């Protein structure tokens, strides 16, 4: 590749897919892993790869954590991925052959899987994420959850090839993430946004109808129903938790 790229990644108990993820990244100059309290063998696996450097830090929110990981990189070009995202050979070839333009952010399409099944419903089917950027031009915002890159007028270019995203293996993982994200949302927006039981119920109902009907979750059997219900629960509980925090 013409320009060296540093890969950055957050981990916590990420051992299930980590070897697949890191095996796909051997061509990159360095991989920065920022771990926040893994109790499995995530760190041990990461340390067996020559191009991987592991740092550890307590969890301070997704936006701040990702920006901290970027700060550890040697290179200005950053590829930010999750510990359950596997880059395929075609995508790596595309990335490494790009004439990287610092005025562009490059977006990658994710093929999202639930328990090994490719899901193309509930908003999972056209999932482009902005992941490749020059850190001199672009940074992560400070949001606790649903963080994003601050573009400041930078153009977004979509890449052709997707990556595999092994989102969830079971309902327990879906529920756990919903609980974590809804709590972070409530903490971040306490006294900043208003909430009510009506808002929680109405927005959750709209979320379910959108996912299950308009985004065709009904075509995917129990997986489509489960994802639609889980998304609606996440919406409901983030507003209920916010309501409770605002009352304190």
What is the tens place of the pLDDT at every residue in 203-216? 999 999 999 999 99
CATH 3.40.50.1220 for the 5-167 domain, yes or no:
no
Distance CA 42, CA 56 (A): 12
Q: Is the pTM of this model over 0.75?
A: yes
Instruction: Write down the pLDDT at residue 3.
Output: 83
The domain locations on the chain are 5-167, 170-246
Residues of the chain under the 50 pLDDT cut: none
- Residue 128 backbone phi and psi in degrees, to 5: -95, 130
What was the pLDDT predicted at 238? 98
């Amino acid at each position: 590749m013409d320009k060296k790229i540093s890969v950055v990644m957050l981990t916590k108990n990420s051992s299930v897919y980590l070897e697949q993820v890191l095996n796909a990244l051997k061509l990159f100059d360095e991989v920065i892993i920022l771990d926040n309290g893994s109790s499995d063998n995530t760190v041990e696996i990461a340390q067996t790869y020559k191009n991987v450097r592991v740092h550890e830090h307590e969890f301070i929110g997704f936006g701040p954590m990702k920006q901290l990981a970027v700060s550890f990189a040697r290179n200005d070009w950053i590829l930010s991925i999750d510990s359950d995202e596997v880059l395929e050979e075609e995508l790596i070839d595309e990335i490494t052959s790009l004439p990287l333009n610092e005025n562009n952010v490059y977006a990658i399409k994710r093929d999202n899987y639930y328990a090994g099944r490719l899901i193309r419903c509930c908003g999972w089917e056209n999932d482009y994420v902005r992941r490749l950027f020059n850190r001199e031009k672009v940074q992560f915002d400070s949001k606790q959850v649903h963080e994003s890159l601050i573009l400041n007028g930078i153009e977004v270019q979509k890449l052709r090839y997707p990556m595999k995203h092994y989102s969830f293996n079971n309902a327990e993982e879906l529920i756990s993430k919903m609980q974590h994200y809804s709590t972070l949302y409530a903490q971040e927006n306490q006294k900043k946004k208003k909430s009510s039981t009506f808002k929680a119920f109405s927005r959750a109902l709209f979320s379910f109808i959108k996912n299950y009907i308009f985004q065709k979750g009904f075509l995917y059997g129990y997986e489509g129903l489960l994802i639609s219900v889980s998304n609606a629960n996440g919406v409901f509980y983030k507003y209920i938790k916010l309501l409770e925090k605002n009352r304190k």
